[in-house]
Amino acid sequence: MKILVQRVDEAAVKVGGKTVGQISKGMLLLVGVMRGDNHDIADWMANKIANLRIFEDSDGKMNLALKDVGGEVLAISQFTLMGDCSKGNRPSLFHAAPPEEANPMYEYFVDKLKGYGIKVETGIFQAEMKVSLINDGPVTFMIERGANASKESL
């Protein structure tokens, strides 16, 4: 899995002009599922996100996690995170899990996050989505874990 984490003041996702997910202070997650990802990887990722200390404490240090600030999550399935742009001009999406594999893993990940007591909103899998956000910072991190992730992230 690969997850782009953005700390936000607010974020929303629309499908067909209708808002289907919306949060206030928290994290916007763009979630990419790789071929071969499994529940162990999704468990690790959910734990990492739930406990990631990217919110500022009273001293201005990134020392607080979602629960500490009453933060929410907007999780958007994003297969293009798996795009390999190293050769040619058209990204290869070989490492992206096919939809029948990716959707159950994405939903499992979302359920695990909810299990930490975090409010989680989502988009609609495979829909054309319009995502809006107000970055806070901006603070952005890429988290990777899995058979196809870079070794540095494991």
Share of the chain above pLDDT 90, in %: 94
80 among known catalytic residues: yes
126 among known catalytic residues: no
Q: 81 has which bridge partners?
A: none
Check pLDDT > 70 for residue 153. Answer: no
78 among known catalytic residues: yes
* Residue 152 pLDDT: 43
Q: Please identify, in words, the CATH class of the domain defined by 2-87+94-148.
A: alpha beta
Q: Which one of the listed residues 6, 55, 78, 122 is annotated catalytic?
A: 78
Rounded to an integer, the average pLDDT of 140-146 is 93
Tell me the per-residue pLDDT of 120-132, one tens digit each, with 9 for 90 and over: 999 999 999 999 9
| Lowest mean pLDDT, pick from 8-17, 21-30, 38-47, 142-151 | 142-151
Concatenate the DSSP letters of all residues of 106-136 into one string. Answer: HHHHHHHHHTTT--EEE--TTS-EEEEEEEE
Tell me the per-residue pLDDT of 53-88, one tens digit each, with 9 for 90 and over: 999 999 999 999 999 999 999 999 999 999 999 999
Concatenate the DSSP letters of all residues of 23-85 into one string. Answer: ESSEEEEEEE-BTT--HHHHHHHHHHHHH---EE-TTS-EEE-HHHHT-EEEEEE-GGGG-B-
E strand or H helix at 99: helix 99-114
Q: Which one of the listed residues 19, 22, 55, 79 is annotated catalytic?
A: 79
Its pTM stands at 0.92
Decide: helix, strand or coil at residue 97: coil
Q: Which one of the listed residues 19, 80, 126, 140 is annotated catalytic?
A: 80
Q: What is the largest CA-CA distance in the chain?
A: 47
* Residue 146 pLDDT: 77
List Cβ neighbours of 50 (8 Å cut-off, separation of 6 or more): 65, 66, 67, 113, 116, 118
Tell me the per-residue pLDDT of 85-129, one tens digit each, with 9 for 90 and over: 999 999 999 999 999 999 999 999 999 999 999 999 999 999 999
